[in-house]
């Protein structure tokens, strides 16, 4: 199990919005473009890229979901105190 991973994410207010954006990505939309236009996180200017992080650096729900993903995989919507995330494991 890696001690550090790199992920991107899209942060939105509602679960429905997260599900709709996930559908768009599944149907061919660019994750990065969706992040740039819809995410509430400052990382949106980098296509949602959060860079590399280790365990204990993100809120628990986000970390659990992110570390469970395989490289290139997308998460289902994940709720945290900040809103709803769609997470993409980059490496």
CA-to-CA distance for 39 and 44, rounded, in angstroms?
A: 6
Give the fold, CATH level 3, of 4-89: Chitinase A; domain 3 (3.10.50)
Give pLDDT tens digits for 22-80: 999 999 999 999 999 999 999 999 999 999 999 999 999 999 999 999 999 999 999 99
The pLDDT value recorded for residue 2 is 78
Phi-psi region of 37 (alpha: psi -120 to 50; beta: other; left: phi over 0): alpha
Q: Band the pLDDT of 1: cuts 50, 70, 90.
A: low
Q: What is the pTM of this model?
A: 0.96
> Do 7 and 87 form a contact (C-beta atoms < 8 A)?
yes
In whole angstroms, what is the distance from residue 5 CA to residue 39 CA? 21
**Strand, helix or coil for residue 36:** helix
């Amino acid at each position: 199990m890696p001690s550090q991973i790199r992920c991107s994410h899209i942060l939105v207010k509602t679960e429905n919005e997260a599900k709709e954006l996930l559908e768009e990505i599944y149907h061919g939309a660019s994750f990065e473009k969706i992040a740039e236009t819809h995410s509430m996180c400052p990382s949106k200017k980098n296509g949602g890229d959060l860079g590399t992080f280790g365990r204990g650096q993100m809120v628990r729900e986000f970390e659990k979901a992110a570390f469970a993903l395989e490289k290139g995989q997308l998460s289902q919507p994940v709720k945290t105190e900040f809103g709803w995330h769609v997470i993409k494991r980059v490496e």
